[in-house]
Structure 1
Amino acid sequence: MNTKPLLALLGGALMSVHAWSAPEYLADVDITSFDGTVLDANLFIPETPAPTEGYPTVIFTNSWGLEKHQYHFQAKELAENGYLVLSYSTRGFGHSGGLVDVAGDNSIKDVGVLIDWLESNYPVGKLGMAGISYGGGISLMSAAKHPRVDAVAALSGWADVVEALYPNETVNLVWGTLLVATAFQKEAELEQIWSDLRDGENMDQVINFGAQRSAVGYVNEINQNGTAVLLSNNFADYLFKPNSMTDFYSLLEGPKKLMLNPGTHAITEILGGNDGHIWSTSFRWFDHHLKGEDNGIDTEPKVDMTVRISNKLEQFEDYPVTDESTTWHLQPRFTLFNNGSMETDKYDGWSWSNEFHGGSDTFAGTGIPLISDALEGFGIPVYAPMMAINGYYAIEYNSPTQWETLKIRGEPKLEMWVEPSKEEVQLNVHLYDVGPLGLGRLITHAPITLHSDRAGQEQKFEVDFFTTSYDVPVGHRVVLAIDTQGYVYQKPEDTNYSITVPYSSSKVSSLTIPHL
């Protein structure tokens, strides 16, 4: 039998299908917004005919400092699968006009104009929004303000601007400075808000500015709209920490999914990290909620957590992922050259106290800002020589040796009694995985700045560490290391202070670790 004609016919048919499915690309689309501002966009249009209900449609919103070309490859892939895809530069970025307003009213109104423009020119079906960082935040805010947004993929986005820039009343100096410095066309208010935050002035206005731009304050609107929300954040993201996103996730009542990954802010998503899991899951999310595909994502576990360092993916039905925990109680150190301990029993000895001081950083820290955080996404942890941490400027507590793997999942919590010598003091609390050789690998950390008129008085504070997923190996210990400065955060103007830690049966400090 001569099969050549048949093969030629099949080959021609395949070529025709490929040519037919190649999307049309409009590289430069100018869309005039409500106030005359021209937004620069591009558009992929499927060559395939629109379904009866219209094209599934996705709007991509750029990250801070980037523009409409950021998602070119993702947009093209979606268009090849039948999506109408618009990517645009938010006002003040790229070739778009206007001024950056940090997801303010103008930026959110722009989204409504973009949706109107799409619906006026093309058959639009269900519509989704996606973006990394700034794009993720705007996507969530738009889901609250525009009921026409059916699904969202917010990657390294935020739910709470105040928590991002002022975690535990501590100025996020590195990230805040970077954001303000890289918005070249910004509203004057942004510069003023950042100045006030750094100086601790007009804080009511600062908090209000952040609250108006925080999706957590509009979660009821998102729930009423029934938006399907996918969230992805990274453990070493010290800008948009995963804690506020896990809190936001717990408030969502509609379809939702949460991904927590190693790495720092936005880098994991931009570089296609986590073995491509973030983007492939986002596409499946849209395929189900915009195209109606029965791909199973609605029945799978809602929470994906990738273990730090090992990069092992785990799935859980919901968040929190465990209700198991261990509480260790802090016991005193007896010289500046040794550590206190953490025991399961409460301290019940003689009243005692330890003291450490501000004025200098120590080897306890988060590594090189931005760089160390990014490397963690590739399995390279932040190390610290625990023996070199200066006991005059810090204090450490050792857990018992672990004789089985301690699988930490969630937010460890520290409850601690202190007596600060000044009204404003800062504490940087770190958890390390320490092996027999005394080298520590950072598990998680958190800053807290105490503002109080009770200087010289004993007081108790509570702080949640940043969400983590970490396995402490057999034979290792967890070490709590506390000092008063860190590269990421703005330190108090006066660092000449001391911190006294009291121990008694009525002043019990403790560390609680959630684990599997």
Structure 2
Amino acid sequence: MKTFALPALLAGALCAGFTASSQAAPTFIPDLDITTFDGSELDANLFIPETAAPAGGYPTVLFTNSWMLDKHQYLLQAKELAENGYLVMSYSTRGFGVSEGLVDVAGDNSINDASVLIDWLQANYPVGKLGMAGISYGAGISLVTAAQDPRVTAVAALSGWSDVIEGLYPNDTVNLVWGTILTTTALNLDPEVDTIWANLRATEDIAGVETFAAPRSALSYVPELNSNGTAVLMSNNFADYLFKPNSMTQLYTLLDGPKKLLLNPGTHAVTETLGGNDGHIWATTFRWFDRYLKEEANGIDTEPKVDMTVRISNKLEQFDDFPVTDKSTRYFLHPRFSYFNNASMKTSSYNGWGWSNDFHGGADTKAGTGIPVISDALEGFGIPVYTNMLGINGYHAIEYNSPVFGSTFKIRGTPSLEMWIKPSKPEVQLHVHLYDTGPLGLGRLITHAPITVRNAAVGQSQKISLDLFTTSYDVPAGHVVTLAIDTEGLIYQKPADTRYEITVPYRRSQQSVLTIPHL
């Protein structure tokens, strides 16, 4: 995990270029040992403004660390806030850094710890309105704490999650790469977490996994967040294949209080850490706290609620709400003639003779997402995943091409697929990719999603439905959108038996449809 820790520790140098309103140097206390509710010691640091506390107390921010990092992660951001009059504590969550206890993945102990730290701050300093912020693990803890502790007025959840299941088990598919990274890099992991991960990989006691996940997922606490009136800022990244934007956009739509959503290129935590969008994420976070903790009339509450940055071009767009558009195009899937031809998708339904295509498991193809983690991180710098669409093996995959676009096709939102299949085994897996394909057959990945069908009716037609991961992408004029589907991907755990055939039937009564939202 050290390769991930280094960029996070450099975060301030690259993304905290903000102008302070006060030049007074804050007092820094680098080491605080605070005893939490069960006697464990939590390691923290504290910035105290040199300016006197306002009548209502200092606006206060509690920073919570990312996975495998500690209280040092946000030093430069914390100092910047303190120079602007904030009281700022950063701490190492239990089991990380030198804090005692076991890592429980935002369980009750971790949430109680955060409330104990708030108690400590209020007992020792004049605390006004208080906010919490964090990247990744810190984002999830911040959201759940805010739901359970109404003293938290505002939250900045960056690269966070609202649904543990969606992160580790999207569409019943084990997120093998990210789950392995998480479970092997926490040195003080609660044994219960290892059991949950083992059960997930073995597809055993999924009900127990769901019971574990629910209290750790902000989607379980929408009524509490709404009742508390928590001001929630969320930032997520299109190529984050750990905490996809989808569950956070769902949370956003359910919140009634002040809210703002940032959707960015890049992968998990890297965009926030390395100053993505020219520092826009952290600048917006600071403005969010200025409005809801300092009560400054800075206009952020009257601006468009959704900031969406287009992949590849990194152009920032703003929208009043999410979904950002009510326009969409429905593409009906039409058959191919052989393994050596591509199929097509058209805006008209399939009305021909009964037909079918098949493709087979047992091998990966060029229809993939690139090198796990690395390719996703490079996308944040405008370097996309490319593939030779002409080199995709038609025996192990199927491709559907749209008509050629005469003008730029601006995809904004969450594409979805409803598809009829006839599986030859009770467990099959599909990897659904959306590509921007140019005239020479070179494709750039737009989005993807996996789905694992378990206990399928063998040899019988059945419809599967899934949402691809939320995205923002401009398909140039002269290009087509390609729907490429195969059965394996480097990120996800394969079924035990990959020797299966998937037949796609085409019938007037069985229309397979790809829906793409766009401007």
State whether TM-score is above 0.5. Answer: yes
Q: Could you tell me whether the CA contact under 8 Å between 1:20 and 1:48 is conserved in 2?
A: no
User: 1:203 offset after TM fit, Å?
Assistant: 1.0
The residue matched to 1:209 in structure 2 has which SS? Answer: helix
User: 1:452 offset after TM fit, Å?
Assistant: 2.2
1:327 paired with 2:330, answer: yes
What is the rounded CA distance, in whole Å, between the counterparts of 1:457 and 1:304 in structure 2?
Answer: 44
Residues 216-241 of structure 1: CA distance to partner in whole angstroms, max 9, x if unpaired? 00111011001000000000000000
Q: Could you tell me whether the CA contact under 8 Å between 1:20 and 1:47 is conserved in 2?
A: no
Corresponding position of 2:54: 51
Q: Which has the larger radius of gyration?
A: 1
The residue matched to 2:195 in structure 1 has which SS? Answer: helix
Residues 434-490 of structure 1: CA distance to partner in whole angstroms, max 9, x if unpaired? 011100000000000001241111000111110000000000000000000000000
The residue matched to 2:72 in structure 1 has which SS? Answer: helix
Q: Name the CA shift for 1:19/1:386 in 2 (closer, same or farther; >3 Å).
A: closer
5+ long unaligned stretches in structure 2: 1-19
Corresponding position of 1:124: 127
What amino acid sits opposite 2:113 in the alignment? Answer: D
What is the rounded CA distance, in whole Å, between the counterparts of 2:484 and 2:408 in structure 1?
Answer: 21
Corresponding position of 1:39: 42
Q: Could you tell me whether the CA contact under 8 Å between 2:433 and 2:483 is conserved in 1?
A: yes
1:98 paired with 2:101, answer: yes
Q: Could you tell me whether the CA contact under 8 Å between 1:174 and 1:489 is conserved in 2?
A: yes
Correspondences of 1:141-290 after superposition (within 5 Å): 141-290=144-293
Q: Could you tell me whether the CA contact under 8 Å between 1:305 and 1:315 is conserved in 2?
A: yes
Moved >4 Å (runs of 4+): 17-20
Q: Could you tell me whether the CA contact under 8 Å between 2:41 and 2:99 is conserved in 1?
A: yes
What is the rounded CA distance, in whole Å, between the counterparts of 1:313 and 1:203 in structure 2?
Answer: 40
Residues 178-209 of structure 1: CA distance to partner in whole angstroms, max 9, x if unpaired? 00001110110010100000001111101111
The residue matched to 1:68 in structure 2 has which SS? Answer: coil
The residue matched to 2:216 in structure 1 has which SS? Answer: coil
What amino acid sits opposite 1:65 in the alignment? Answer: M
What amino acid sits opposite 2:503 in the alignment? Answer: T
The residue matched to 1:76 in structure 2 has which SS? Answer: helix
User: 1:21 offset after TM fit, Å?
Assistant: 1.3
The residue matched to 2:381 in structure 1 has which SS? Answer: coil
Aligned with residue 426 of structure 1, among 426, 429, 440: 429
Aligned residues: 500
Corresponding position of 1:115: 118
Corresponding position of 2:487: 484
Corresponding position of 2:7: none
Q: Could you tell me whether the CA contact under 8 Å between 2:23 and 2:83 is conserved in 1?
A: no
5+ long unaligned stretches in structure 1: 1-16
1:136 paired with 2:139, answer: yes
Q: Could you tell me whether the CA contact under 8 Å between 1:259 and 1:303 is conserved in 2?
A: yes
1:374 paired with 2:377, answer: yes
Corresponding position of 2:16: none
What amino acid sits opposite 1:339 in the alignment? Answer: N
1:442 paired with 2:445, answer: yes
1:348 paired with 2:348, answer: no
Corresponding position of 2:510: 507
User: 1:298 offset after TM fit, Å?
Assistant: 0.4
- Percent pairwise identity: 72
What is the rounded CA distance, in whole Å, between the counterparts of 2:85 and 2:24 in structure 1?
Answer: 8
Correspondences of 1:384-403 after superposition (within 5 Å): 384-403=387-406
Corresponding position of 1:291: 294
Q: Could you tell me whether the CA contact under 8 Å between 1:151 and 1:290 is conserved in 2?
A: yes
What amino acid sits opposite 1:327 in the alignment? Answer: R
